[in-house]
Structure 1
Amino acid sequence: MTQGSVHGEETRPGPVRQDRGTDTGDGDGGGADTSGRPGRPGGNRRRPGRGRAGRRRRVLRWSATTLAVLILGTAGAGYLYYEHLNGNIEKGARSNGDSKAQRTEPNAAGQTPLNILLIGSDSRASDANVALGGGRNNRDNPPLGDVQMLIHLSADRKSAAVVSIPRDTRVDIPACEDAETGEKFPATNTIINESLGRGGAGCTLATWENLTGVYIDHWMTIDFAGVVSMADAVGGVEVCVNQNVWDRPLPGVPGGSGLKLEAGRTKVQGEQALQWLRTRHAWGSDPLRARAQHMYMNSMIRTLKQQNVFTDTGRLMNLAEAATKSLTVSEEIGTVKKLYDLGMQLKTVPTDRITMTTIPTVPDDQDANHLLPAADADKMWAMVRDDVAFDDKGGKGGKGGGGAKDAENPEDAGGSTRRPSDEPAADSDIGVLVQNATRSDTLGPVSGRAAAVAGALTEKGFARAATDTTAALSEERTVIRYPSDGLAGDARRVAEALGIPASAVHKSADVSGITLAVGADWRSGTSYPKQKTPEAGDLPESSDALNGSDTGKCMDVYKPYRW
C-alpha cells in the first residue's frame, strides 16, 4: 500500500493548470486577469495581492505533496523498524508446570492487579554470556534462575511492590515440561534457582504460584549480556558503598564477581553493572545481594524517570533496541506494543510508592547453605493476593481498589461487587460439590471434612449440596470455583453463607459446576475461620523493605572484601 501510494504521487499529472490567454509567467492560472473585459482598465494587470496568494497556494500544494511522500516513507520505515524490534523478541509459554493459582477478581472499579515475574538467568549459552559469566565448561548446563523478583502492580496502578526470593531458598517445584523439547521433569523439593532448568521460565512461574497462591500474569528473563546492554542503553545506574569493595577470590573462598569500587557513589554500566548485580560474597549473604539488586533497580527507575525516556524518541529507540534483544518474555506480551503498554502502566507509579522487599527466611535444617521461607512470608503473600499496598501512603487500607476491606464481610473481602446480572438463584436451587482438600505438605487430610461442610450447607438451605467421594485433594487455601459467568453470583452466595472471603471465589475451566475445595486452612468447624485482614504498610520487619525514592542507602561491605 505504501509503495502504491508513493508511486501514484510520482506519476500523477502535475498540478500546474494552463489558463486561457496570456501566461504571465506566474504559473498559476489564478494569478492574473487576461480577459480584457470592459470596465476593467489595464486588463492584463494583476490584482493587488493575487500573485502572492498564488505563490502561497503553489507552495502549499508542493509542500503537501512532499509531506505526503515523507509521511508514507516514514510510515514504511516505521513499520519495518517495528517488525525488526518484534523480531528481536524471544518468547515462551507463560506456564508449563502444575499450578492452581487463580487470577484475582476485579475490584469495585473493574480493575485487576498485575503480577510480573522477573528472572535473571546465569545461562552461558552464548559466547557473550561465557565471556561475561565465565564457566566455559558449564556452557551446556541447564540455566539457573539466580535472580527472581515478583513485581506486583496494584489494581489502581498507584503503588507497586517487588518481592525477591533468595536463589538458595528450598521450595517445592512442581512437575514441569519443557515446551521446546517435550522433556518432562517430576516434582521435586530443592532450591528455587533450579526451577529455570526444569522446563524454563514457565516452570519457575508455576513454582512461584504454588508457593504464594498469587496468579502471575507474565514473566521476563534477562541474561548476563542483556544486563550489560540495558545498563549501557540507560547510560549507567548510580550505586553506593560505604567502604571500598573488591569482590574477588580469597583463600578457601573461590569465585567473586570482580566488582571493585571506591567508597561513595559511582555510576556503573556495562560489565560493571553486571558485577554489581552478581556480587554476593562482598555483601555477606544472598539476602543482602537482593538488597543491592533492589538499590540498583530503584536507581534505574529514578534514572529513567529523570530522562523522561517515554517522550525522548532517540533514547526510547535505543532502549527499545536493547530491551527487545535482552529480554525473553512470556508469549502473551511478546510484541513491542504490548511491552510498551506494560511499560506505560509501570510508569504511572510514583517512585515513593514503590517498595522493594525480600521474603523473610530461616536457615535450612537440611543444608546450612540453604534457606527456607519463614512463617512471616505468608503475611507478605497475603498482602499481594489481596492487593494491599506494601506502604501506608495510599490512605486507609491502601488496597488497589481504594482501601483494604474487612475479611469478615465476604462480599467486600475480594474487592468485587455483585452486579444485577450476577444475582444468585434461591439457595435451594444452587448445586455445590464439596471436596476434602485439607491435605498439605506437612499434614495429612482431615477425615470427613467434605461431608461436614456439605452438611452445614444443607442445614443452611442448600439442599443440592453434595460430597465428592474421590481421594483427598490438596489445597493450601480454601477455594470456590465456578465454570461460567452465569454461576458467579451463585458461587459468591455459597461463600457468603459460609463466611468465605470473595477473594477465594474464582472462575475456572477445571470444574463443571460450583465446587468448594475445603483447604488446609480450614481443618475444623463448619464456618470458615475469620482471617485477619492485612493492613497497608504492615510488612514483617525482616522483609528488608526499601522505598523507591530513598537515595540515601549504601551497601556495607563484608570486611574480608574491603581494600
Structure 2
Amino acid sequence: MAQSGVRGKAGPAEAATATATAAPDGRGPSGGGRRGARRGPKRGRRGLRWAAIVLALAILGSAGAGYLYYQHLNDNIAKGERTSGDDSKVRRTQPDAAGRTPLNILLIGSDDRNSAENVKLGGSKDNRGNPPLGDVQMLIHLSADRESAAMVSIPRDTRVAIPKCVDPKTSRVYPPTEDIINTTLARGGAGCTLATWEKLTDVFIDHWMTIDFTGVVRMADAIGGVDVCVNQNVWDHSTPAQRGGSGLKLTAGRHQVKHVQALQWLRTRHAWGSDVMRARAQHMYLNSMIRTLKGQNVFTDSGRLMDLAEAATKSLKVSQEIGTVKKLYDLGTQLKAVPANRITSVTMPNVDDPLNKEHVVPQKTEADKLWEMLRDDVPLDKNGKPSTSTSTSKPQPAKTPSLQPSRLGVVVANGTGSSTQAAVPGRAAAIGTALTQAGYGRATKDTSAALSEDETVVRYPSADLEGDAQGVAKALGIPLNQVERSTDVSGVTVVVGADWRTGTAYPKKAAPKAGDIPAGSDAINGSDTSACMDVYKPYQW
C-alpha cells in the first residue's frame, strides 16, 4: 500500500462510546411505542427512570450553577450540517405496524492533524494542515423496535461514486467524481460522507458523528479501558518492506487498552494484514466497549458521570439536529438497551478494484443484499423472536391511474451502468417494447446521457401521475415501493437499473430473512467474548 494508506484511523468505537454513554431521539429503548414499553421488565423501567433522575441531578445540580454547567456541556459539542451533497433521492424506511422507524447513525473517524495534540498522537507532521480524511466509517443501524442493531463498516480504500458536495463553511463546490470513500470528508465535511453513503447504499441516514485522534484517547480514558485480544505477540512498526505503523505492542493474550494504546489498536492495519482485518479489530473493540458499558452503572457515580459527559461532549462533532446533551443521552440510552447478542458487526462485502489493486469495490450481489436488509430493517442476527412477515415496511397503497395506458407518455432510460459494471446496450429499447406490448403505445426510450441506478425505479413528477406510474410498474412487475415522486422528470419515467440487466420481466427477489448475513461480511456477534486477532507474521515478535 502507498504511504498515504497509513493515515487511517480511529474512532467509530469512541463515537459509539459517546452515544452509549451520553447520547437522543426521545423514543427510549423501545422506540417510543407503548407496545414495546409493556414488554420491558419493571426493574428495567425503574432503572432507566432512576438513571434519568441521577443524570438530571448530576448535571443540573442547583438551579444556577447546574444550568450553567448544562450549557457548558452543550457548548462543548461541535455541530455541522447533516448533508452537504446533492438533494438525496433516498427514501426513509416505512414505519412498522406500531409506527416506529429504524435509526441510522454514521460514525466517522477523522485523521485530522490540524492541532499539535493530534499531530503528536497521529504522527506524520508533514500532513499538518491537510484536509482530514475519513479513514474509519461505520454505520450504526438501530432497528425500529430498538431490539437489535447492526454495525456496518466500509473499508476506507473503497472506490465509490461521490456526488456533488458543497462545503457549508466556504461554499466551495466539489463536482461529482469517483474516488476512494475516505476522501469524502475533505469534500465538504461529514455531510459529504453521509451523502456518499446514501448514494451507495440507498439507506436513509439520520445523523453523523465524527471523532479525531485526541477524542479517541479522551473517550478511552473516560470509559476506563476496553478489553482486546491477540493470538500472537504484536508490534505494528515500520519494516523494510512497509513504512509506518501505529506503534501497538502487546504480548499474546487479553489486555485492557486505554489512552494512546486504544488509539493504536484502532489505527493498526499492517499487523492485521489489511484494511478489512482492521475493521474486524475495530468491531471487536466496539463490541467489547459496549459490553463494558453495560456492566458499569455510571449513573450512580456522579463524578464518573461528569467525566464521561465532559469527555463525550468535547470529543464529538455531530450533525446539528442531535447537537445537545439531552438528544445525545437519549440516543445512547437506546443503543445501550440493545442486548449484546442482538448486535452484529459486519464489513461490506468487497473485491479487488480492477482499476487499482490497492483499492476495493463492493461485491455487488452480496453488498446489495446487505443494503436491502438495512433498508427493510431485517435483523442480521437470529436471536430475536420469529416474525410472521418478511419485511417491517408497510406496502405502498395503490392509486387509481388518471389516464388510459394507451394515452400515457412513458420514457424509458438505461441506468444499468455502475462504478463496477458497464451499461448493457439496448435495455431502454427492450423495456420500451415490453411496455408497448402491454398497451403503453406511447413509450419511448430516453436518448440523453446514460444514467446509473443500482435498483430499477419508476419516477413521476406530480401527485396526479402517481397512479399512472404505479400502473407502469405493475405492467413490468416492478414492486410499488420502487415508485417515487421526483422533480428530475417531466413525466412517468422508467430507469432500468443495474439489477435488471436481462429479460423483459423484472426479476423477482426473495426477501432476506433474519440472520441471513451476506457472504464475505466477516460478521461478529456482540456477545462473542472469545474473538481474538491473528497477527500478520512480519509483525509478530
TM-score range, shorter chain: 0.7 to 0.9
Q: Distance in 1 between matches of 2:451 and 2:142?
A: 32
Q: Distance in 2 between matches of 1:487 and 1:87?
A: 48
**Cα deviations by residue, 1:337-374 (Å, 9 ceiling, x for unpaired):** 22222212212311100000112222233333222222
Residue 105 of structure 2 aligns to a residue in which SS?
strand
Q: 2:91 aligns with which of 102, 105, 124?
A: 102
Q: 1:436 aligns with which of 401, 413, 423?
A: 413
The aligned residue for residue 428 of structure 2 is: 447
1:186-265 equivalent positions in 2, closer than 5 A: 186-265=175-254
Contact 2:59 2:70 in 1 (8 A): no
Provide closer, same or farther for how the CA distance between residues 331 and 246 of structure 1 changes in structure 2, counting only shifts above 3 A.
same
Q: 1:390 aligns with which of 362, 380, 384?
A: 380
Instruction: Give the C-alpha shift of residue 227 in structure 1.
Output: 0.5
Whether 1:279 and 2:268 are equivalent positions in the alignment is yes
Contact 1:107 1:155 in 2 (8 A): yes
Contact 1:107 1:416 in 2 (8 A): yes
**Cα deviations by residue, 1:255-306 (Å, 9 ceiling, x for unpaired):** 1111111221111111110011001111111111111100000011111111
TM-score normalised by the chain length of structure 2: 0.79
Q: Distance in 2 between matches of 1:108 and 1:489?
A: 24
Instruction: Give the C-alpha shift of residue 321 in structure 1.
Output: 1.5
The aligned residue for residue 367 of structure 2 is: 377
The aligned residue for residue 289 of structure 1 is: 278
Percent sequence identity is: 63
Instruction: Give the C-alpha shift of residue 515 in structure 1.
Output: 5.4
171-180 vs 265-274, which moves further: 171-180
Provide closer, same or farther for how the CA distance between residues 488 and 104 of structure 1 changes in structure 2, counting only shifts above 3 A.
farther
Contact 1:456 1:526 in 2 (8 A): no
1:21-40 equivalent positions in 2, closer than 5 A: none
Instruction: Give the C-alpha shift of residue 448 in structure 1.
Output: 2.6
Instruction: Give the C-alpha shift of residue 221 in structure 1.
Output: 0.8
The aligned residue for residue 295 of structure 2 is: 306
Q: 2:399 aligns with which of 398, 403, 424?
A: 424
Instruction: Give the C-alpha shift of residue 131 in structure 1.
Output: 1.1
Instruction: Give the C-alpha shift of residue 522 in structure 1.
Output: 3.1
Contact 1:353 1:391 in 2 (8 A): yes
TM-score normalised by the chain length of structure 1: 0.76
266-275 vs 358-367, which moves further: 358-367
The aligned residue for residue 308 of structure 2 is: 319
Residue 233 of structure 1 aligns to a residue in which SS?
helix
Q: Distance in 2 between matches of 1:224 and 1:373?
A: 28
Q: Distance in 2 between matches of 1:153 and 1:253?
A: 39
Q: 2:390 aligns with which of 394, 398, 404?
A: 404
Structure 1 residues not aligned, in runs of 5+: 1-69, 406-413
Please tell me the residue identity of whatever aligns with 1:521. D
Residue 542 of structure 1 aligns to a residue in which SS?
coil
Please tell me the residue identity of whatever aligns with 1:122. D
Q: In the comparison of the two structures, how many residue pairs are matched?
A: 476
Instruction: Give the C-alpha shift of residue 501 in structure 1.
Output: 2.6
Whether 1:552 and 2:541 are equivalent positions in the alignment is no
**Cα deviations by residue, 1:172-191 (Å, 9 ceiling, x for unpaired):** 22222211112222222222
Provide closer, same or farther for how the CA distance between residues 465 and 333 of structure 1 changes in structure 2, counting only shifts above 3 A.
farther
Q: Distance in 2 between matches of 1:492 and 1:79?
A: 54
The aligned residue for residue 522 of structure 1 is: 500
172-181 vs 238-247, which moves further: 172-181
The aligned residue for residue 157 of structure 1 is: 146
Q: Distance in 2 between matches of 1:114 and 1:508?
A: 24
298-307 vs 511-520, which moves further: 511-520
Q: 1:76 aligns with which of 64, 70, 76?
A: 64
145-154 vs 427-436, which moves further: 427-436
Q: Distance in 2 between matches of 1:432 and 1:267?
A: 66
The aligned residue for residue 532 of structure 1 is: 510
Provide closer, same or farther for how the CA distance between residues 416 and 490 of structure 1 changes in structure 2, counting only shifts above 3 A.
farther
Please tell me the residue identity of whatever aligns with 1:536. A
Instruction: Give the C-alpha shift of residue 142 in structure 1.
Output: 1.5
Instruction: Give the C-alpha shift of residue 437 in structure 1.
Output: 4.4
The aligned residue for residue 41 of structure 2 is: none
Provide closer, same or farther for how the CA distance between residues 263 and 158 of structure 1 changes in structure 2, counting only shifts above 3 A.
same
Instruction: Give the C-alpha shift of residue 435 in structure 1.
Output: 4.3
**Cα deviations by residue, 1:457-494 (Å, 9 ceiling, x for unpaired):** 646xxx99898776553322122456788987776666
Instruction: Give the C-alpha shift of residue 147 in structure 1.
Output: 0.7
Instruction: Give the C-alpha shift of residue 498 in structure 1.
Output: 4.2
The aligned residue for residue 35 of structure 2 is: none
Q: Distance in 1 between matches of 2:307 and 2:491?
A: 51
1:113-128 equivalent positions in 2, closer than 5 A: 113-128=102-117
Q: 1:93 aligns with which of 62, 81, 85?
A: 81
Please tell me the residue identity of whatever aligns with 1:436. A
Residue 202 of structure 1 aligns to a residue in which SS?
helix
**Cα deviations by residue, 1:87-144 (Å, 9 ceiling, x for unpaired):** 1111122222234322222233322222111110101011110110012221111111
Superposition RMSD in Å: 3.1
Q: Distance in 1 between matches of 2:230 and 2:473?
A: 52
Residue 162 of structure 1 aligns to a residue in which SS?
strand
223-232 vs 142-151, which moves further: 142-151
Structure 2 residues not aligned, in runs of 5+: 1-57
1:41-52 equivalent positions in 2, closer than 5 A: none
Q: Distance in 1 between matches of 2:59 and 2:297?
A: 26
Pick the structure with greater CA Rg.
Answer: 1
Provide closer, same or farther for how the CA distance between residues 469 and 247 of structure 1 changes in structure 2, counting only shifts above 3 A.
closer
The aligned residue for residue 334 of structure 1 is: 323
Contact 2:229 2:533 in 1 (8 A): yes
Contact 1:416 1:502 in 2 (8 A): no
Residue 84 of structure 2 aligns to a residue in which SS?
coil
Contact 1:438 1:522 in 2 (8 A): no
